[in-house]
Amino acid sequence: MLIASHLSKHYATARGPVPVLDDVSLEVGAGDAVAIMGPSGCGKSTLLYILGALEGPTTGTVSLDGKDPNALSDVEQSAFRNEHIGFVFQDHLLLPQLSALDNVLAPTLVSRSGKTESERTARARDLLAAVGLSSRSDHRPGELSGGERQRVAIARALIEAPSVLLCDEPTGNLDRASAEAVADLLVSIQQDHQVMLVVVTHSQVLASRFARTYELNERVLVGR
């Protein structure tokens, strides 16, 4: 389970604190798919980064699989993220000089899972097949379309079998057809891999694909 309790966040700036989140609580259980909507600047990325321990809350706590990632040392926290959390960003953030296959394998370079190289490669190939890109595994990101890159990024996010997949505007840079393909993929991946899914988006079309929808409104999370 992913449990966020009474999160608040403000950014300290030279011109004083910028309040972003106020008393946000959220529970995501096994098999849950959650969309969080809201306009640009409302704090969606901030909330997602706090859920994924890329950012600490100002107050409140996060618990994932029974652990508070913010209570871990930096080294333990990055290992925890690697093992438990998959991220997909609006910009795919693939490494341009690596093939699709090597991009998917990149997180395993720092993995403590103990899997052999051939086990890792087999899983990466399975994931590329699952996102419909078996035939493109040797291609670099520059040789793929925006939608294909995002599908590689989704495969990469799943390589360590995370319990939660966090997606930040995953279709924000895509045309309508590619956005639909990525949305279809997220829905089927969530079911096939039984991963908890949290998607933040300003797209009503994308959000409507998921069972639970919230809106971040005036720093508060409201069910829709």
Binds ligand ADP (CB under 6 A): choice among 28, 34, 35, 42 = 42
Strands 196-201 and 164-168: parallel
**Region of 33-41, 84-92, 139-147, 180-188 interacting with ligand ADP (CB under 6 A):** 33-41
Q: How far is the CB of 91 from ligand ADP (least distance, A)?
A: 13
Binds ligand ADP (CB under 6 A): choice among 28, 45, 51, 124 = 45
Q: How far is the CB of 129 from ligand ADP (least distance, A)?
A: 32
Which residue number, 42 or 133, has a Cβ lying nearer to Mg ion?
42
Q: Is 46 in the site for Mg ion (CB under 5 A)?
A: no
Q: Is 167 in the site for ligand ADP (CB under 6 A)?
A: no
Residues 6+ apart with CB under 8 A from 31: 190, 194, 196
Query: What is the distance between the alpha carbons of residues 117 and 150, in angstroms, rounded to a whole number?
Result: 24
Residue 42 site contact among Mg ion, ligand ADP, none (CB < 5 to 8 Å, cut-off depends on kind):
ligand ADP
Q: Is 45 in the site for Mg ion (CB under 5 A)?
A: yes
Surface-to-core class of residue 41, CB atoms within 10 Å of its CB (0-12 exposed, 13-18 middle, 19+ buried): exposed
Residue 185 site contact among ligand ADP, Mg ion, none (CB < 5 to 8 Å, cut-off depends on kind):
none
Residues 6+ apart with CB under 8 A from 56: 50, 70
Spell 176-215 as b/e; 16+ CB within 10 A means b.
Answer: eebbbbbbebbeebbeebebbbbbbbebeebbebbeebbb
Binding stretches for ligand ADP (CB under 6 A): 11, 13, 18, 20, 38, 40-46
